[in-house]
Amino acid sequence: MYKLALVKAIFCVALVVVFKNVSAQTDSDSSVYKQAVVNLITHFDQGMDEGARLYNGFGFTPYSSDITGNAFLDDNDSWRMGTVNYDGETFANVPMIYDIYADNLIVLLHNHGAPYRLVSERVVSFDLRDHRYVRISGIAAGIKAGFYEQLYGGKSTVVNKLEKELSTTNLTSGNVASTHNRYFAPKNEYHQYYIRKGNTYYSVNSQGSVLDLFKDKKKELRQYIKDNHIQFDSFPEASMVKIATYYDHLTD
């Protein structure tokens, strides 16, 4: 915030110089310049307000170097450009990393000087590496609050929850005292898929569980699956999206 105030102060000093130059112009020229300055101030303030809104979070401390692997999406700890909807504003080309272990979105300051984590409750959604992640509050939704990968965003929304955990193993060698090896690993062996029906999310893990959820159109969906040669076991995500999309079509 101190840097933000300093930038504004420098900007104001520059405006004083501009106004002095404007006073030396003719009246008609002066009015044009003054309007231009007013417009400049407006755009500057809007930009600074948006920046202040985005750069509002907590400091991020990197994990200990003695932990094997990492806590991030796709085991990738490099910054990738993404888009985030934060506090009702959309910010594009933001360097970010998704910390799956802590379920936090980490971004870099505007000068790429320091990482910090956004306030999760203020993040509506973010797009990273061609995937969209949405924040679900969990209140009356049937699932815990957090970020979920959105596979389909229709009425019957399909989401996937990614989780990691910090595990520990004891290492012994002969008479040497045991040591601890800490490492990040996926929390669940299988993906955790959920489909929203009404205002509630339901866990699904098979074609049968999806059809049971959409039992009011089960006959039509079975025929759709047969006609379109949908192979749920081989392509679960694509299959769920197709089935949910068709169900929404049937119930429109």
Of 185, 141, 188, give the one whose Cα is nearest residue 161: 188
Indicate the angle between helix axes 27-54 and 2-23, nearest 10 degrees: 170
Long-range contacts of residues 36-45, Cβ cutoff 8 Å, at least 24 apart? 41/15, 44/11
Listing DSSP states for 106-151 in one string gives EEE-TTS--EEEE-GGGEEEEEETTEEEEEE--TTTSS-SEEEEEE
What are the per-10-residue average pLDDT scores of the chain (252 residues)? Answer: 40 43 51 53 44 73 89 90 94 94 90 84 95 87 91 96 88 58 84 92 95 97 98 96 98 92
**Identity (one letter) of the amino acid at 52?**
A
198 is a domain residue: no
Q: Tell me what pLDDT residue 138 has.
A: 74
Residue from 120, 144, 247 nearest 194 by CA: 144
Strand segments (E) across 30-71: 57-59
Domain-embedded: residue 99: no
The H or E element that residue 182 is part of is: strand 176-186
Would you say the pTM of this structure is higher than 0.95? no
Instruction: Report pLDDT for 76.
Output: 86
Q: Which residue do the tokens 């090896």 mark? A: 181
Residue 168: closest CA among 66, 61, 63, 100: 66
Q: Is residue 11 part of a domain?
A: yes
Cα-Cα-Cα-Cα torsion 21, 27, 29, 30, nearest 10 degrees, comes to 40
- CA 132 – CA 138 distance, rounded (Å): 18
CA distance 34 to 40: 10
Locate 198 and state its tokens.
């009404």
Residue 50 lies in a domain: yes
Q: How far apart are CA 123 and CA 128, in angstroms?
A: 14
What torsion do the CA atoms of 76, 78, 79, 85 make, to the nearest 10 degrees? 10
Domain extent for 43: 2-54
Helix (H, G, I), strand (E, B) or coil at 61: coil
Position 45 in a domain: yes
- Is 32 part of any domain? yes
Q: How many domains does the chain have?
A: 1
In a domain, 19, yes or no: yes
Question: What pLDDT score does 191 carry?
Answer: 82
Tokens of 148: 């979920």
Identify the residue whose tokens are 């796709």. 74
What the block records as the tokens of 155 is 């009425």
Q: Decide if 16 is inside a domain.
A: yes
Q: What is the predicted pLDDT for the residue at 102?
A: 95
